[in-house]
Each structure stands twice: as structure tokens, then as C-alpha cells.
Amino acid sequence: MRILVVSDTHGEIDNIKLLVDKLKNEKFDMIIHLGDDSPDAEHLKPLNAPLYVVPGVYEPHYKNPETKRRIIVELDGIRVLLSHTDTKHQNDPPEEEDPLERLKKGEVDALFHGHTHIPKISLEGRKLILNPGHLKKSDKKGYPPTYAIVEIEGELVRIDLYKLTDGTRLASLQVSKSFIKG
């Protein structure tokens, strides 16, 4: 299983089109957009894979009670919480549970989030956390535009973070499914 994960596109359609152009000959089983601005995900459709999208906290519909702000997807037996933030946000309704708490309680095996614009792959105990960064042309925090590719093959989970402009691999993590599910 191969998954493309992006976040924080912020209307920078040129960078989304650049990403699509770079990856147009690759096959993905799923594409995930983690918000800000979630309607931008429409521009990922040429990659021809099912698209999962959560809204960013400042998108107008985020506060709508009907909006699914966080969703759980199963990736080859791994339960992943998709959220724009890794923690509870002031724009969340009071009853919304903190994503990191859900991870710590074992409700999910992994958390994929955006919001900070800081690309990062980490383990919280034995649980996996991914932030694919952002796809803006420039960012005040100084990080380049990045995206992540998650590959699950048999017992192995591999996540790579790539720089959009030149495809440089910035970080990589490889772990067994049984480790993060344990």
C-alpha cells in the first residue's frame, strides 16, 4: 500500500500542480490532505487515487457541527487518525477529544497531522506521528515545501519526507507494524 500525504497547501495551486507533475507516473492507493486549505485537494485528483481530506482549523466550515474534523482510516491494519492539529484547538467544540490523547490511549496506532508546517516523523512511545509539512512557496518558519509518502508492505511501514522542489529525501522512518500496534 502506498499513500501520498500532504498538508497546509494554503491555496498554492502552482505547488500542488508541481507535485502532481512530479508524481504523475507513480501509483498511489490513497491520497491524504490534512487541511488548510482542504478544497485544494481537488487538484490532486489527476493522481487517480481515493482522496481523504480533513479541514484546517481556520477554514470556515471547521466550526460547523456537521463537519468531520478528524477521521480514522485503516491502512493495511494500522488505525490512523487524520487531523489538522496534533492537539485540541481553540476552534474545536468542547466535546472534541485531543488527538494526542487518543493516540496515547491506544484508540489509534498513528496520527497524521499538519498545522505547524514543520515536517516531522516521530514515535510517541510505540505510536507513529507524521506531519508532512506544507506546500507553500515560502513559510515564515523557514521550512521548504514538503510532502510524505507512506509505504506499507507486509510487516514493514516506511515513511519518507521529501522536499518538493528537488525531490530530496529529508527524513525517513522504517518500523514494523507489530511495533506500532503493540
- CATH at 146: 3.60.21.10
Other C-beta atoms lying within 10 Å of the C-beta of residue 106: 13
Q: Helix H segments across the chain?
A: 13-23, 99-104, 177-181
- Cα separation, 8 vs 84, in Å, equals 9
> Going by C-beta distance under 8 Å and a sequence separation of 6 or more, which residues neighbour residue 12?
40, 135, 136, 137, 145
> Going by C-beta distance under 8 Å and a sequence separation of 6 or more, which residues neighbour residue 24?
46, 47
- Stretch 30-39: mean pLDDT: 96
* % of the chain residues with pLDDT over 70: 100
> Going by C-beta distance under 8 Å and a sequence separation of 6 or more, which residues neighbour residue 57?
35, 36, 84, 85, 89, 91, 92, 115
- Stretch 98-116: mean pLDDT: 96
Q: In the structure, what pLDDT confidence band is assigned to residue 108 with cuts at 50, 70 and 90?
A: very high
Phi, psi of 39 (to 5 degrees): -60, -20
Q: In the structure, what pLDDT confidence band is assigned to residue 65 with cuts at 50, 70 and 90?
A: confident
Domains in the chain, number: 1
CA dihedral 24, 52, 69, 9 (to 10 degrees): 0
Q: In the structure, what pLDDT confidence band is assigned to residue 174 with cuts at 50, 70 and 90?
A: very high
Q: 0.75 cut: is pTM over it? A: yes
Q: What is the pLDDT of residue 6?
A: 98
When the pLDDT of each residue in the chain is averaged and rounded to a whole number, the result is 95
Look at residue 181 and tell me whether its pLDDT is greater than 90: no
Look at residue 24 and tell me whether its pLDDT is greater than 90: yes
- Cα separation, 133 vs 5, in Å, equals 9
Q: In the structure, what pLDDT confidence band is assigned to residue 139 with cuts at 50, 70 and 90?
A: confident
State the residue range of the domain holding 25: 2-181
